[in-house]
Amino acid sequence: MDVRILFLNTIVGHRFCWERIMMTRKINFAAGPSMLPLSVLEDIRDAVIDFEGHGYSILETNHRSPVFNVIRRELKDRIRSLMSVPDNYEIVFCPGGGRQQFSMVPLNLMTEKGFGGYVVTGKWSELAMEECARLSRAVTLWKGNGRELPTESFETDDRIDYVYFCDNETVDGTEFSAPPKMKSPGVILVADMSSNFMSRPVNVSEYGAIWAGMQKNFGISGLSVLIVRRDLLREKSAPIPLMLDWMKYAKTDSVPNSVPVFQFYVALLMARWVENQGGLREMDRRAREKSGLIYETIDACSSVYVCDIPPAFRSRMNIVFSLRKNELTDDFIKEAEARGMINVAGHSSRGGLRVSLYNAMPFDAVEKLSALMKDFACRHTG
C-alpha cells in the first residue's frame, strides 16, 4: 500500500478511536492517580507519537538531551512564577514518588542529635512520622483523631530540627487553612502538599521545604517536586544514600541518573494548563466552588449522608463522608458507576465514601455527583 494512504488510514483510525474514547470517558473521582484535563491528554497523545515535530516520541527522549533541558527549565520557571517562589529557594524534582520524601526529609534535615517534630493529623503524616522514627528520632508534637486539626501554637525547643505536617490529608479529608502556628521564631516548617499542590496560592517563604507527589493536581505518579530554602541544602556529617540526597538533585539540576522524562513533561503540561486557566487564585476559587457544592449537598441531605469533619477543617480536595446506613454504601457506589462516576469508595482503612475534586475535575461533573446524591437521598430518606 502507498505509504501516504497508510498514513491517512492511521490518522483517520486514530481520530475515530479518540472520538469513541471521548464518549465513554468516565468521571474519575480517584484520590490519585487522578483525572487529567482532556487537553493535556491530547497533547500527551501527540507527544507519544511525535514530540513537537522532533521525529521521535517523548518516551524516547533522552534525559541528558537539550530537548529535555528545555522541558525541565520551563517546568521550573512556571512553578516559580505560579507559586511566586522566592529566589532563595531551589526547586528540584525527585523520582520515587511521595513516600520517598518521607525518608528524604529526616535524612536531609536532621542534625546528629536532633529530632523531627511531627504534627500527626491523619494517615499520611503518621506514616511520615513512623519513617522518621525508623530512620532516626521523631517526636509527635500533636496527634488528633483524624477528623480535626490543631488550632493552638506549638512550643518547640532547639532540639527539634524541623516541624513536619501534611497540608491536606488525602485519606482523612482534612486540610489546613494556614500552616500550624509556632511560638518560637525560625522553626523550619516542612509541608507535604501532595494532595493540594497548585490548588491555591502559598506563601512559600513561611516554609523551609514544601514537597508534593505529582499524581493528584499536577501530573502522574513516580515524581515529586521539592521547593526548599537553599541554606537547608547542606553537606551531611555522615553519608546518606546518594539518591536520597536533596543536594545531589540540586547539584545535577534534577538529573542524577536516567530520570523519567515523561513525568516531567506531563507536569509541564499541567503547569501550562493551570496558568492558562487563570493560575492559583482561580484553582482555589474552583476548588471552593466544587467542594462547597458537595458539602452543601451532604448537609442538605443530612438524614442520609454524614461528614463528621468540622467545617473549618474540611478539605477542598478530598471529600470524606459516609451514608448513615452503612449497608447502602455499595448501592451508592454501583449507582454512581452506572452513571459513569467511578472511584467514589472511601479509602480501605476508613470505608464510607470519598470523592476527590482536584484541579482537573470539571464543575459540571461535580454537579452530576450532587444530583445523584440528592436523587439517592430522596429514595432512601426515612
**Binding residues vs ligand PMP (CB under 6 A):** 32, 97-99, 124, 166, 170, 192, 194-195, 213, 221
Taking phi first (over 0 means left), then psi (-120 to 50 degrees means alpha), and beta for anything else, what does residue 46 get?
Answer: alpha
Q: Is the distance from CB of 182 to CB of 139 less than 8 angstroms? A: no
Query: CA torsion sign, 234 to 237 to 239 to 244?
Result: negative
Active-site choice (161, 167, 192, 245): 192
Asked if 246 is an active-site residue, the reply is no
Nearer residue to ligand PMP within complex by CB, 63 or 99: 99
Can you point out the beta strands (E) in the chain?
27-28, 89-95, 115-120, 138-143, 160-166, 168-169, 174-175, 189-192, 209-213, 223-229, 305-306, 318-323, 341-342, 353-356
Distance set, CA 338 to CA 321, 367, 371 (Å):
20, 16, 14
Q: Which residue is nearest to ligand PMP (CB)?
A: 98
Return d(Cα 29, Cα 26) in angstroms, integer. 9
Residue linked to cell 444530583: 371
Give the 3-state secondary structure of residue 44.
helix
b/e string for 69-79 if b means 16 or more Cβ within 10 A?
eebbeebbebb
Asked if 123 is an active-site residue, the reply is no
Asked if 124 is an active-site residue, the reply is yes
Nearer residue to ligand PMP within complex by CB, 43 or 126: 126
Shortest Å, Cβ 2 to ligand PMP = 47
Nearer residue to ligand PMP within complex by CB, 97 or 144: 97
> Which amino acid makes up residue 370?
S
Shortest Å, Cβ 216 to ligand PMP = 7
> What does the block give as the cell for 92?
528540584
Return d(Cα 318, Cα 352) in angstroms, integer. 13
Shortest Å, Cβ 72 to ligand PMP = 20
Torsion of CA 124, 127, 132, 135, to 10 degrees: -140
Shortest Å, Cβ 137 to ligand PMP = 21
In residues, how long is the chain?
Answer: 382
Shortest Å, Cβ 197 to ligand PMP = 10
Shortest Å, Cβ 86 to ligand PMP = 24
Nearer residue to ligand PMP within complex by CB, 100 or 297: 100
Return d(Cα 170, Cα 33) in angstroms, integer. 12
Shortest Å, Cβ 134 to ligand PMP = 16
Alpha helices, DSSP H, located in 92-210: 98-109, 123-135
Active-site choice (76, 216, 248, 290): 216
Nearer residue to ligand PMP within complex by CB, 356 or 370: 356
Looking at the DSSP bridge assignments, the partners of residue 182 are: 154
Nearer residue to ligand PMP within complex by CB, 170 or 370: 170
Element (H, E) at 81: helix 66-82
Nearer residue to ligand PMP within complex by CB, 221 or 277: 221
Residue positions annotated with a catalytic role: 124, 192, 216
